[in-house]
Amino acid sequence: MTQLNPPERLLMGPGPSNVHPRVYGALAAPIVGHLDPVFLDVMEQSKALLRDTFETKNELTIPISGTGSAGMETCFVNVLEPGDRVVIGVNGVFGNRMCDVAERCGAQVERVEAAWGEAIDPAQFEVALESGAQTKLVAVVQAETSTGVLQPLEAIGALAREHGALFLVDAVTSLGGVSVGVDTHGIDLCYSGTQKCLGCPPGLSPVTLSESAVSALQSRKSKVQSWYLDLGMIAQYWGETRVYHHTAPISMNYALREALLLIHEEGLESRWNRHRTHQQALLAGLQTLGLEPVVQEPSLRLPPLTTVRVPDQVDEAAVRKQLLTEFDIEIGGGLGVFQGNAWRIGLMGHTSSPKNLMTFLAALEICLRATGLDASGGLAQAHKVLDAE
């Protein structure tokens, strides 16, 4: 076994995305103790930067010491108790995962579904909320990483409020790439992951809880079933008393702070525009190469992650392998109903640049032509979109 020497991939799959050199620098900075005044400053700075990124004033806004799925579980286990009714939107892998997590809390789960690749109609949430017992929680995925759908939140959030339910949003693939608007959408619980549009390696999951969510946590009858994810205790460490809970992942927290600082320097609006513009350029190029988007309605396309159908005559896995081995480019295959017939192409965080999308379009054109497709002109179309900005 020798020293590690990984290739420099262009990470254009559904995450992780590429990491800015400053974030790598932070990862390799000398660690200090988890109660060191220097680290306590890092924690305070990260909380402030995370609030800005989530667009919230929520006091309880912190990174959980696990990946995005740990953030998902944190949100469910801290407010749910056995028997609670939950209405969950399902139009892909991550909606399904939320149901599984909620069921493990002993909750009564009501699924509100849409076809994969489509958004969920708020009217269906209304039906679910008006039938059956009082609902404790309404949950939906803003950015379905398995399909590339951007779910509108406003109407669902309003329905949850009307029916006295907490509103939970999965923002794993949106935070830092698309507006999440925690306060404007009345979101009570929201979680994300570091390895998508935040531009940090995977390992932490930022979460934010509204005052209503904190009240629900404080008025529980039973202990939170997960000790590790118990926000009542974690919030003390991240709050003024600094009571030790677990040893915070120091290096990953350094990296997250640096990634959030880069977002702060760029500005949220500029960053969202960058993700949107580059997706439009990417998609113009892909369509010119003969690839059609999975998500029909343009306004429902998730800017950081573009899903396209793979032409019937193309072996999608073979093309992905060629991209990886010949060009050091990673893209994602389809999941569930899209397995074998779609690609998921990410332009997230630091990865979302003209150079990267052009490099990818050039490489893909070569791979597609090798399969016999008459694919050409993708770069020129992408350039037109960029030039028009």
- Residues near a second copy (CB under 8 A), total: 74
Stretch that binds a second copy, among 102-110, 160-168, 267-275, 357-365 (CB under 8 A): 102-110
Q: Which two tokens stand for residue 144?
A: 């379905």
User: Which one of 57, 220, 223, 369 is in contact with a second copy (CB under 8 A)?
Assistant: 223
Shortest Å, Cβ 302 to a second copy = 17
Shortest Å, Cβ 381 to a second copy = 27
Place of tokens 């893909």: 364
What angle (nearest 5°) sits at the alpha carbon of residue 275, between those of residues 253 and 210?
50
- Dihedral Cα 249, 180, 16, 379, nearest 10 deg: -150
> Taking CB under 8 A as the rule, does residue 171 contact a second copy?
no
Stretch that binds a second copy, among 123-131, 254-262, 275-283, 363-371 (CB under 8 A): 254-262
User: Which one of 40, 96, 104, 354 is in contact with a second copy (CB under 8 A)?
Assistant: 104
Angle between helices 354-370 and 316-327 (to 10 degrees): 120
Shortest Å, Cβ 291 to a second copy = 21
> Taking CB under 8 A as the rule, does residue 8 contact a second copy?
yes
Site string (181-220) toward a second copy, x via CB under 8 A = ------------x-x-----xxx-----------------
DSSP 8-state symbol, 186: T
User: What are the beta bridge partners of residue 344?
Assistant: 307, 332
Shortest Å, Cβ 373 to a second copy = 25
R_g of the chain, CA atoms, integer Å: 21
Query: Residue 179: is it exposed, middle or buried by C-beta count within 10 angstroms (0-12/13-18/19+)?
Result: middle
> Taking CB under 8 A as the rule, does residue 29 contact a second copy?
yes
CA distance 346 to 69: 19
Site string (55-94) toward a second copy, x via CB under 8 A = ----------xxxxxx-xx---------------------
Cβ-based neighbours of 343, under 8 Å, separated by 6 or more: 291, 307, 308, 310, 316, 320, 331, 332, 333, 334
How long a stretch of residues is the chain? 389
Window 287 to 326, contacts with a second copy (CB under 8 A): 324
